[in-house]
Amino acid sequence: MRILLVEDEPTLRAQLRTGLTEAGYAVDEADNGQDALFLGDTEAFDVVILDLGLPVLDGLSVLKRWRESGRVMPVLILTARDNWHDKVAGIDAGADDYLSKPFHMEELLARLRALIRRASGLASPLLQCGPLSLDTRSGRVTLDGQLITLTSHEYKVLAYLMHRPGSVVSRTELTEHIYAQDFDRDSNTIEVFVGRLRKKLPPALIETVRGLGYRLVPPA
């Protein structure tokens, strides 16, 4: 899953980037509102962490412009402004959640997982597809109760597919959502990761839809 992190304080931004990367997210960053607006308008993100007190263009204006232009990615506001007026303004502008500084990284990660699940129409942190289970809290993947060991990229591909059960996902979409913008992207590597996953999972679980992409389907 891919996150846009918008925070102008360098030390906090670095700490957040480290925590998010360790949690398995691909992270893009912006330290001002103008760059954040551009990235949100031109790139595909699964969730955005947005500070309000930004230089050049404030976070609330960025959020309003995204929503006015039809951008629907979940947005979590992260800010030192903790009075109820600011929270109401943020939510009315289109925010999906609000977390005040200081905060615990574990709580931020839990809120992000919940936002990503809700955006996919999922309620439980335990994702299921037939005998396959993926726990978004721990990152554990099991098949018939037996733990499966995956590389980080195999996990990212599988997690994205499991958040969209039954939906066809193109190689381009997968590439956009498992790599950050500055990564040397190659959609051909998706085939490699899918091939490796098929060796560890029931072969029919990941279906190839010719000319379109891949679809996760439970066994008949």
Range(s) of the chain covered by CATH 1.10.10.10: 126-216
CA atoms within 13 A on the CB side of 35: 13
Chain segment 40-78, per-residue pLDDT in tens: 999 999 999 999 989 999 999 999 999 999 999 999 999
Q: What is the pLDDT of residues 84-104, one digit of tens each?
A: 787 888 888 999 999 988 899
What residues contact residue 36 under an 8 Å CB cut-off, 6+ apart?
4, 6, 30, 50, 54, 57, 59, 62
pLDDT score recorded for residue 122: 87
At residue 202, the pLDDT reads: 86
Higher-pLDDT residue of 166, 46 = 46
- Grade residue 179 by pLDDT with cuts at 50, 70 and 90: confident
**CATH 3.40.50.2300, the chain: domain bounds:** 2-119
Report d(CA 98, CA 50) in Å as an integer: 9
Burial of 165 (0-12, 13-18, 19+ CB in 10 A): middle
- The conformation of residue 138, written as its DSSP 8-state character, comes to T
Which of 9-13, 15-19, 72-76, 172-176 is predicted least confidently? Answer: 172-176
In this structure, of 20-24, 125-129, 195-199, 200-204, the range with the lowest mean pLDDT score is 200-204
* Residue-wise burial string across 4-30, b where 16 or more C-beta atoms lie within 10 A, e elsewhere: bbbbbeeeebeebbeebeebbbbbbbb
Looking at residue 219, what is its pLDDT?
Answer: 77
Q: Which residues pair with 207 in a beta bridge?
A: 215
Rank 47-61, 80-94, 174-188, 206-220 by mean pLDDT and report only the highest: 47-61
Confidence check: pLDDT of 170 > 90: yes
So what's the pLDDT on residue 184?
63
- In the predicted model, what is the mean pLDDT of the chain? 92
Answer yes or no: CATH 1.10.10.10 is held by domain 126-216: yes
Spatial CA neighbour of 59 closest among 84, 83, 35? 35
Residue range 2-119, CATH number? 3.40.50.2300
Residue 91 structure tokens:
């939510």
User: What is the per-residue pLDDT across 133-160, written as a single tens digit (0 to 9) for each?
Assistant: 999 999 999 999 999 999 999 999 999 9
pLDDT of residue 185: 64
Asked if pLDDT for residue 6 goes beyond 70, the answer is yes
Position 187 scores a pLDDT of 65
pLDDT band of 23, cuts 50, 70, 90: very high
Mean pLDDT of 112-136: 92
Rounded to whole angstroms, the Cα distance separating 62 from 205 reads 40
Q: In terms of pTM, does the model score above 0.85?
A: yes
Structure tokens at 47: 């969730």
